[in-house]
Amino acid sequence: MSELRDIARAILADGRARVVIGWEDARRGARPVFATDPDDADKLIFDARCVHNLVTYLNPRRDNVAELGKIALVVKGCDAKAVAGLLREAQLGRDDVVLIGVRCGGVLEASDLGQPLALTPENVAPRCHECDVREPNLVDYLVGDPQPDPPRPAMTIDERIAALESRPLEERWAFWTEQFSKCVRCYACRQVCPLCICERCVAEKTRPQWIEPSSHARGNMSWNITRALHLAGRCVGCGECERFCPVGIPLSLMNRKLQQIVAERYGYVVSDDPEKPAPIGDYRLDDRQEFIK
Amino acid sequence: MSSRRSDTIEQGAAGAPLCAGFEPRLTAFVCNWCTYTGADLAGTSRLHMASNVRIIRLPCTGRIDPLFVIKAFERGADGVIVSGCHPADCHYTSGNYHARRRFAVFHDLMEFVGVDPRRITFSWVSASEGAKWRDVVNEAVANVRALGPFDAYRALAPEDEAPEDGAPEPAGEAVPTGAARSAS
Amino acid sequence: MSRIGVFVCHCGENIARTVDCAAVAEAVRDHPGVAFATDYKYMCSDPGQTLVKQAIEEHKLTGVVVAACSPHMHEKTFRRACDQAGLNKFMCEMANIREHCSWIHEDRGEATAKAIDISRTIVEKVKHNRPLQTIKIPVTKRALVIGGGIAGIQAALDIADGGHEVVLVEKDASIGGHMSQLSETFPTLDCSQCILTPRMVEAYQHPNIKLHTWSEVEKVDGYIGNFEVTIRKKARSVNEDLCNGCGDCFGACPAKRIPSEFEAGLGKRTAIYVPFPQAVPNIPVLDRQNCTLFKGRRKGLKKDACGKCKEACLKGAIDYDAEDTFVTEAVGAIVIATGFKLYDIGRDQPEGLKGYGEYGYGEVPDVIDGLQFERLASASGPTGGAILRPSDGKEPKTVVFVHCVGSRDPDKGMAYCSKICCMYNAKHAMLYKHKVHDGRAIAFYMDLRAAGKGYDEFSRRAIEEDEAEYIRGRVSRIFRDGDVVKVWGFDTLSDEQVVIDADMVVLATAIRPQDGVKELAQKLSVSVDADGFINEAHPKLRPVETNTAGVFVAGACQAPRDIPEAVAMASATGAKVLGLFSADELEREPAVAVVNETTCIGCMRCALVCPYGAIEQREICTVDGHVCGHTAYVNPGVCQGCGTCEAVCLSKSVELETFTDEQVYSEIMALGQWE
């Protein structure tokens, strides 16, 4: 922790960045903090409650954040992948942000559990099981001790997907239509996603109105499927969308399924190397086309 | 495959009997240079086929967005066909390669969500493959007929919320009252 | 407010037999936005078109839908009619109720219902059509020809004679290509150099042709009518302006044993050399790889190890310190004429091809290829035109010619026929027999492809007059056995194995595209086929165009070609280029993508997928010049209108005119009304 605070303090003091965005202790857990003064660096923490993906603040459309000046961002491995996504899509240059990487051993499923808890199969975020970047790459600084692997959750996301896929088509349809009938179109999933960066989301386009804005299952189906497709090859699996969803739709199942699809078909795993091209927008002559007559 | 519908009625899913006389409605999104021209050739060659398909012309499969397919289902299509040039033959060089990836992902996701993949037919039909177009049409229609109507999709919206008919008009145009969709 | 006119055509009986056209017109008449609907027997006829024009005027139509045949048939016809009546022609569309309806269905009720649907759908689309204007782009009336073989030379001459400047780029030291290596040409057996060199000289002296030899295309920017090409002029080490072609330099050069590329490896040259005596330009080039002085410099010698050519040159034209230079040329059209090379049967093969272990991987002495035979036969070749075998200089008395080495062989990676080998093998057999009267010329063939004018008669002469022996069958092995080359073959017509003790074997190896063509194609945004040949725009109707507007193709780089075809293609590209240059501005269809700069966030996914490189990133600046963001920008001159950009754009910030989202949406929505 002191390493993190020292670096943040130094960066703010000598002007390498105007604000350090990281996590701080809050009454009920951890929460994002914007440290603009070197003294504020003492607020910075990193523990298993730091589930938030702070890369969402790098969205160029967040004018109020951009106004603060050059950002130094504290990132876990999954967060760094999101930064790579933004670099890949020309939303910022590598020199526009300072990245302070933290070694991570997994986070809790929710951040508002009071004091930092030891991770158990019941409270660990299921997505941490798939993580391949406990030590983030792409960063300017790397702090923290090497962490042990997180405990295996009771059921991994892949297992839950497999369970769903073992059910017949009609049951899957019933499952998803029921889930999507809950959606109230608050768009929290979109707002918190670091890769949902469009100035004008297609869901807000009215001429023509591809996605019905009403929150019935039909419009919700269109919205959620479209968002999932738009994230194919881009989603970093940070799980924030599901964490934020006020009605508890298991979005991680859908987004992880898309990760599985691009991995299986195109050998693509979302990477924190911005040079690696995204799978959609790329093609190979021998791409599988078994579903095409 | 015979083109007369009475010869090709098959059992529905799990052997359930079908609605008598149900004729599915299919929307086809095709590329101008290959499949549209192939369909023209089918016409010039007088190759008869099922009449359930309505073609929407696009310049290239690269232009086809999954949103088109979703919207077609929302509007009551029971099945959709997406067709274009064979790989390496795209008039615009690479549009179909991008479409191929886009639709592979869409196809897998639709199946995950519980939409029967037989409702969406993907094909490569070249400008010289009039007979293949006929076969694709007939097979797609037969498949969708066997699956039954896809009212389930349209009905995800409650009756009073979903507009029955009428395409949106540009400003100033009266909203049509239009005939209600006839029962099939 | 839409006022659309719908015209339902009977097409005689073609539509009316199955579709109740009057009923279609009636059903559509009540459709919102339709101001006028009628049916008529022959819409494309003069009175039919007049009907459209009158209706436009009388009913103040804002759009026209002709429900008839396929738009591929008559869209232009009706658009022209609308244009003549004062209605923007892009407000006119066709509803295909013939090829897609009346011709493929029998049931009148079904067909009529479908025709109504189709017509309504297109009416809805037209409500969102926009009165677009054809796009006009300026044209630089200069052409670039890449490749100085016979095709390139012909194209350059035709364009230059047509009054426009041509930049001709050739990567070798001289123009002429493979045709300059040939001894005689079929079917006339006239001397190749004799018919070629006058063309070479004409090209060199033509006031409209600017020649860059020993040069390659480095970079191509721009689009049709407006290309900017960077050419790398490789260091010749000889100043082209000072050199007078006297030849004293290569006379003095001590390095005399370098295999000559022109002689296909059968002869030797010096380090500073002209490739052949009739080279154009007659200016030598210094091969720095094999030059004693440059070898010394690479070793780090303080003092140059040689300098004889410089000493010998009275004009002071030798410059050992010359470097590659770059020249930029602005052109409006490009012709690709890079020609071919022969397939090498050796072990070292590019991906997808295999060598011929059966024939010894090119390591068996006295097994040569067609170009090498040409050099033997050539009066100016390494043997002065005598047919002597390379290993010991003896006159071979039995020569075996093997057809289809690599060609028509999917196993080796080349399934195609190389077209010219049957003819040149007959020619080689004849030339051999003319020179070695008591020799045996034996040819193993699969088929005899002699389809050109005078070709069959020519190849028959080889057999009937010159007694060449043709055996229908393939050769399974070729290997050295003491003094002879053993050839194991099979005669399929007599069903017997054949073993021949040959003195020399000539392999008709496959025609392949030149080295570096793939990279060149990428620079030009043209595609190559699975075999590496440049792709034409359409195999039947557009054989000399590529899918990139303004880039044309001629000769063997597109597919194996003989000389008359290469010349014909070259002249065809000349015609295309001159047509392109015939107006000061180019008009093209406005089916281009347009970016909505308000909503675009500049992620450039569109640029990634554009097949033509038509999309670039542009900065958005505030009023005082401060860069505050960037968006995509589509160059309307380059965009060909595929729409892939629109489908990958997550926020739908780029629209393809003529197939906008609104248009497609309205068609999908219209189908929700179908009966």
pLDDT of the residue at C537: 82
- Sequence-ordered list of residues with C-beta below 8 angstroms from that of C93, at least 6 positions apart, any chain: C63, C64, C65, C66, C71, C75, C122, C125, C126, C129
Instruction: Tell me how many domains chain A contains.
Output: 2
Distance, CA of B28 to CA of B35 (rounded, Å): 10
Asked if the structure places residue A43 within a domain, the reply is yes
Domain stops at, among A115, A143, A171: A143
Sequence letter at residue C530: A
The answer to whether residue A278 scores a pLDDT higher than 80 is: yes
- A268 domain residue, yes or no: yes
Residue type, C42: Y
| pLDDT surpassing 60 at residue C73 | yes
> Are A49 and A134 within one domain?
yes
Structure confidence at residue A117 (pLDDT): 79
pLDDT digits (tens, 9 = 90+) for C245-293: 999 999 999 999 999 999 999 999 999 999 999 999 999 999 999 999 9
Calculate mean pLDDT across residues A124-144. 92
Q: How far is C646 from chain B (nearest CA, A)?
A: 7
Q: Is residue A151 part of a domain?
A: no
Query: Is 90 exceeded by the pLDDT of residue C673?
Result: no
pLDDT tens digit sequence for B97-119: 999 999 999 999 999 999 999 99
| A 192-231 near B (Cβ less than 8 A) | 202, 208-212, 214, 216-219, 221-222, 225-226, 228-229
Interface of B with C in 50-89 (CB under 8 A): 51, 54-60, 62-65, 68, 71-72, 75-77, 88
**A122 and A175 housed in the same domain:** no
- Asked whether the predicted pLDDT for residue B86 surpasses 60, the reply is yes
pLDDT at B16 over 80: no
Q: Number of B:C CB contacts under 8 A?
A: 160
pLDDT of residue C224: 87
Q: Which residues of chain A make contact with C602, given a CB cutoff of 8 A?
A: 90-91
* Statement to judge: residues A84 and A54 lie in one domain: yes
Range of the domain at A228: 157-281
My answer on whether A125 and A13 are in the same domain is yes
Mean pLDDT of chain B: 80
- What are the pLDDT digits (tens) for A187-198? 999 999 999 999
Q: Is residue A100 assigned to a domain?
A: yes
Residues A105 and A37 occupy one common structural domain:
yes
Average pLDDT over residues C397-408: 97
Asked if pLDDT for residue C550 goes beyond 70, the answer is yes
The rounded mean pLDDT for chain C is 95
Cα–Cα distances in Å, from C416 out to A193, C178, C420, C492, C554? 53, 21, 12, 22, 19
Topology of domain B24-152, CATH: Rossmann fold (3.40.50)
Question: Of C163-177, C476-490, C621-635, where does mean pLDDT reach its minimum?
Answer: C621-635
Last residue within a domain, chosen from A143, A173, A207: A143
A133 and A84 share a domain? yes
Q: What is the mean pLDDT of residues A1-8?
A: 93
What's the mean per-residue pLDDT of chain A?
A: 93
Domain boundaries, chain B: 24-152
A288 assigned to some structural domain:
no
Q: What are phi and psi of A158, to 5 degrees?
A: -60, -40
A93 and A206 inside one domain:
no
Number of H helices, E strands in chain C: 17, 34
pLDDT for position B171: 40
> Do residues A68 and A201 both lie within one domain?
no
Let me know whether A176 and A205 are in one domain.
Answer: yes
In a domain, A290, yes or no: no
Tell me, yes or no, whether A150 lies in a domain: no
| Local confidence band at C223 (pLDDT 50, 70, 90 cut-offs) | confident
pTM for this entry: 0.75
Residue after which a domain boundary falls, among A78, A110, A143: A143
Q: Is residue A41 part of a domain?
A: yes
Q: Do A210 and C599 touch (CB under 8 A)?
A: no
DSSP string, chain A: -HHHHHHHHHHHHHTS-SEEEEEEEETTEEEEEEE-SGGGGGGEE-STT----GGGGG-TT-HHHHTT-SEEEEE-HHHHHHHHHHHHTTSS-GGGEEEEEE-----BS-S-SSS-----TTTB-GGGGG---SS-SS-SEEES---PPPPPPSS-HHHHHHHHHTS-HHHHHHHHHHHHHH-----HHHHH-TT---SS-GGG--TT--S--S-SHHHHHHHHHHHHHHTTTT-----HHHHH-TT---HHHHHHHHHHHHHHHH-----S-TTSPPSBTB--TT---TTB-
Q: Identify whether residues A35 and A57 lie together within a single domain.
A: yes
Q: Which residues of A touch B154 (CB under 8 A)?
A: 218
Domain match, A138 and A163 both: no
C605 vs A: CB within 8 A: yes
Do A123 and A170 belong to one domain? no
Could you tell me which chain C residue has the CA closest to the CA of A59?
Answer: C601
